[in-house]
Structure 1
Amino acid sequence: MQLKHKIVALSVLPLLLAVAVVCLLVLVQNQRLGEQQAQLIERSILASKQAELKHYVEMALSTIEPLYGSGRDDEETKRQVLALLARINFGADGYFFVYDSNGKSLMHPRQGDLVGKDLWNMTDAHGLLVIQALVKSARDGGGFQRYGWQKPSTGQPSEKLAYVTMLERWDWMLGTGIYLEDVDHAIAQVRHDVGNGIRTTMLAIAAVALIAVLLVFASGLTLNVSEQRLADRKLQQLTQRIVTSQEEERSRLSRELHDGISQLLVSIKFKFELAAHELAAGKASAGETLRQGIERLAGAIGEVRRISHDLHPSLLDTLGLASAIGQLASEFEQRSGLRVNYDNRLGDTRLSDGMNVALFRILQEALTNIERHAHARQVDIALAGNEHRVTLRIRDDGQGFNPRQVEQHSGGIGLRNIRERVEHFGGTFSIVSTASGTELDVALLLSAAPPVAEVQLP
């Protein structure tokens, strides 16, 4: 996976993870709040129903009070009480019922077929002994009981909430009830609304997450295009620098060949031609002329050797980096007139051919810059190495310069090429320049092993 793809992935994945966690928290919290709301509404409705049922029973008791409170316990009085209760109703399914304490149905205005039957052991769909539970609630004084019963208007089983009380003197249980279908419907509606709210919230979060992911993707794409264009510009600049460097090197070689070797060869040709004429004329000066021509031929050979050494020093291949740097330092001292101190602590450290060439070219570039711009009197060169790294330090006592400003300049091969050579081998490069001098430090790793103590340079 490319770096740009990794960056986009590292941007998108935490976002998606955060959105997933938020969605989970919202889902759990909404479900919990929805359930609490449903329970609150259910308790509120049931409390209202309980108050309503208690009011109905109190109304029924006040209706039969003239008969029950008369103290008569004859069958006719009981029949009149049952007849009064049978006529009291509220709504299609609101009625009163009466049982004796043994579970026998004494009055049921909606389901007359139950009257006279013993329903003591009758159970609802949940296995509850309905009449026994009602009698127990009436005797305990709580009065309220929830159970399943067949709804008269529909003939279907339904949840019912009843309130019952005992007529102690006659050992009767009087009660009424309200079917809870509307409560169940209200609770189902609340849960449905909560579910819709959760779905709406999830869709909103998903939309926000999608927009965020698209923004991250678009930003990554824009960054990718920008980086690609920047990389293309840098590649073009590098290519141009390489072409410029090649042309400069060709111009330098052309000048050296024309101004140096070419003129020497022409001079040698003239000397040899003059020596030939003098020999033909029998002059004694022919030997001296021939000797001068041979001396100039030796100078031409030395010039060719110098140019060849600049292109690729043969000592790198034969004696190694330390000797090649020593020769370069000696030639630079003779050519520039600067005092050069060379400290070689490379020892038996073995470098690859590429590292040898890189360090040699870095030193060449540094010495060229010192000769042209530093106005220094002394140069110190220190080379050191161990089994993990090799370091090269070049220090002068010149006037210094601004490294950042020089490195940003696009022409020439300068500091940028030095940095690129070092980075090619995964090394480090630093340069410190003040008014009292400049110090350039280069370190190249020889292996992937963790570095040990730094190589100490003087």
Structure 2
Amino acid sequence: MNINLKLQLVTIVPLVLALVAVLIVTQVQYQSLSEQTVYEYRHSVMSHRKDELRNYVALAEGATEHIYKNKNLSNEQAQTLVKQVLSNMRFGKDGYFFAYNFDGTALLIPGQEWRIGKNWLDLEDRNGVKLIRGLIENAKGGGGYLNYVFNQPSKGGEVGKKIGYSRELEDWQWMIGTGVYIDDIDQEIAVLNASIGKHIRNTSVMTLIIGLVAVIAIFFTGQFIRFSERKLANRKLRELNERIFQTQEEECKRVSRELHDGISQTIAAARFSLETAQLKHQNNDDASNEMERSMELICKIMGDIRAISHQLHPGLLEDYGLGAALEELGRDFSQRTEIQVDVERLSLRNILSTEVKTALYRIAQESLTNIERHANASKVSISLKLVPNWLVLEIIDNGQGFDYQRYDKSRDKKTKVHQGIGLRNMKERLSFYQGDLTVKSEHGGTKVSARIPQSQLRFNASNASEN
């Protein structure tokens, strides 16, 4: 699994998990809200129905009170009149009043006259509730409510859920009351539950769609970025390969030029001297001068070979460290160009890896090459020092400088000019070690600063000391 796919998974998986968590939490919260809403709705409707029942019974008591308390009527006359009044009081489709003795005998129940005169004290509904006994006990207690199942006249005698309220007529030992059927409440609650459930499903679907769209968008965005990054990486890789090939070609040209212009001509001169010495020897002439000349040329050839070898890879860098290698580099440069070179050396004991030492050495070498070719300087200073959190290599010359920045009139600001391969190579060497390169150039000289963070050093920088 490549890094791009891993990054996409790291991005998408948490989003998917978050989406699932949101859906679960939403479902739980909606379910809890639904149950609370249904409970509040049922409680509110039931409270309203109970208030209605209490008001109905109060109306019945008010309508019969003048009869109940009339001392001019006998109990039988008054009871007959109360039954007539209560039987004529109806409300709603199934609303009526009923009356029972405290012993459970039915006295009044409109529409179900066959129950009158019979004792129903132990009557139970399908749920085992003794409804007549319960209504009588509630009436004796000052009034109360009872839930039970009873015949519903509007449905042809089918049973339905009902809530009843009863009060007593103490002087007559009667229980009077009324009730309302509450099946419609269950139907309304079922409709409400269905509506809430539909809303929950729609919300969940919308959340899921939004989440899937986000996941798909992230996936394709990641694919686009991945493709763009790959394209950019391939372009940069091609550019890097071209720069590597250019560097190799320039190095090959330089070595070839030094071999041709230096060593090759010296070898040819040595050959001519040896041939001249050979001819003089054959003629018994003195050939000592030619032999000495040949020895000098051979010594020069050896020196040139060592110089080229040293430029390709200085053995002193590994044997004695970066400070000694910089001193020798400056000394050789001064001897070759007659430019004064001052080296401020810092002795680094087992701090730098071979790669870091090589990178800093090549930067110094490239800087001196640029100074020799372009700066027209008379003095160069090289310093290697430690500052807080950084190892710094500085190369400063007093030459003519160059335009590292130029003024762009179209943008009203200064922009960097096209950099040569030398500066690019320096920056790329440092970027590998999280370092940076700064160049400050003006008419009085140029300062090149190469910095590498101490975190890239092999050991703690406290092991370093200045010579």
TM value normalised by structure 1 = 0.81
5 Å-filtered alignment, 1:38-53, equals 38-39=38-39, 41-42=41-42, 45-46=45-46, 49-50=49-50, 53=53
Q: Which of 240, 243, 262 is equivalent to 2:242?
A: 240
Partner secondary structure for residue 72 of structure 1 = coil
Q: Distance in 2 between matches of 1:456 and 1:399?
A: 34
CA distance in 2 between counterparts of 1:304 and 1:452 reads: 37
Distance change in 2, residues 1:316/1:372 (3 Å): same
Output the TM-score relative to the length of structure 2.
0.79
User: Which stretches in structure 1 are left out of the alignment for 5+ residues?
Assistant: none
Within the candidate set 227, 230, 238, 1:228 is matched to 230
Q: Secondary structure at the match of 1:170?
A: coil
* Superposed CA offset, 1:31-90 (max 9, x none): 455445435544554466456546755776687678657642343653565466456656
Give matches, 1:32-431, under 5 Å: 33-35=33-35, 37-39=37-39, 41-42=41-42, 45-46=45-46, 49-50=49-50, 53=53, 57=57, 71-75=72-76, 78-79=79-80, 81-82=82-83, 85-86=86-87, 93-111=94-112, 114-120=115-121, 130-131=131-132, 133-135=134-136, 138=139, 145-152=145-152, 153=155, 158-284=160-286, 286-349=287-350, 351-383=352-384, 392-400=393-401, 409=418, 412=421, 414-424=422-432, 426-431=433-438
1:442 aligns with 2:444: no
Q: Deviations over 1:189-229 (max 9, x none)?
A: 11221111111111111111111111111111111111111
Task: Please say if residues 345 and 466 of structure 2, whose CA atoms lie closer than 8 Å, have aligned partners that are also in contact.
Answer: no
- Assess if the C-alpha contact under 8 Å between 2:101 and 2:175 holds in 1: yes
Structure 1 residues 131, 369: closer, same or farther in 2, change over 3 A? farther
Question: What residue identity is the alignment partner of 2:145?
Answer: Q
Q: CA deviation at 1:330?
A: 0.2
List per-residue Cα deviations over 1:382-428 (Å, max 9, x = no partner). 34589x9965443334455566899884752x23322333344x352
Contact kept in structure 2, 1:391 and 1:455, CA below 8 Å: no
- The change in CA–CA distance for 1:280 and 1:32 in structure 2 (over 3 A counts) is closer
Q: 1:190 to 1:275 in 2, by over 3 A?
A: same
CA distance in 1, matches of 2:417, 2:283: 66
State the 1:107 CA deviation.
2.7
Select between 347-356 and 205-214 the one with higher mean Cα deviation.
347-356
Q: CA deviation at 1:275?
A: 3.2
Is the deviation greater in 321-330 or in 231-240? Answer: 321-330
State the Cα distance separating 1:234 from its structure 2 match: 0.9
SS at match of 1:358: helix
Q: State the alpha-carbon separation in 2 of the partners of residues 317 and 93 from structure 1.
A: 109
Question: Shift of residue 244 of structure 1?
Answer: 1.1
Secondary structure of residue in 1 paired with 2:440: strand
Cα deviation digits, residues 320-354 of structure 1 (max 9, x gap): 44333221110111222222111222253364443
Change in CA separation of 1:129 and 1:327 when aligned onto 2, cut-off 3 Å: same
Which letter maps to 2:227?
Answer: V
Instruction: Structure 2 unaligned segments of length 5 or more: list them.
Output: 407-414
Deviation of 1:249 (Å): 1.2
Secondary structure at the counterpart of residue 198 of structure 2: helix
Instruction: Kindly provide the amino acid, as one letter, of the partner of residue 433 in structure 1.
Output: K
* AA at the equivalent of 1:378: K
Question: Percent of aligned pairs with the same residue?
Answer: 34
CA shift, 1:291, in A, is: 2.9
Q: Which amino acid aligns with 2:74?
A: D
**What's the CA shift for 1:261?**
1.7
Question: CA distance change for structure 1 residues 53 and 385 in 2, over 3 Å: closer, same or farther?
Answer: closer
- Asked if structure 2 preserves the Cα contact closer than 8 Å seen for 1:349 and 1:385, the reply is no
Equivalent-residue separation in structure 2 for 1:267 and 1:407 (angstroms): 48
Task: Indicate the SS of the match to 2:345.
Answer: strand
Residue 260 (structure 1) shift: 1.6
Partner of 2:409: none
Distance 1:148 1:188 in 2: 20
Q: Is the 8 A contact 1:99 1:173 kept in 2?
A: yes
Q: How many aligned positions are there? A: 453
Q: Distance in 2 between matches of 1:199 and 1:454?
A: 69
Amino acid paired to 1:421: R
The answer on whether the counterparts of 1:103 and 1:119 sit within 8 Å (CA) in structure 2 is yes
Write the distance in 1 (CA, Å) between the matches of 2:324 and 2:439: 27
> Cα offset for 1:29?
5.2
- Alpha-carbon distance between aligned partners in 2 of 1:160 and 1:34, rounded to the nearest angstrom: 25
Which digits, 9 at most, give the CA deviation of each residue in 1:268-316, with x for residues without a partner?
22333333334444555x4333433332232222222222221122323
Equivalent pair of 2:351/2:457 in contact (CA under 8 Å) = no
Give RMSD over aligned pairs.
Answer: 4.0
What CA distance in whole angstroms lies between the structure 1 residues aligned with 2:65 and 2:349?
Answer: 123
CA contact (8 A) 1:148 1:157 kept: no
Asked whether the 8 Å contact 2:322–2:348 carries over to 1, the reply is no
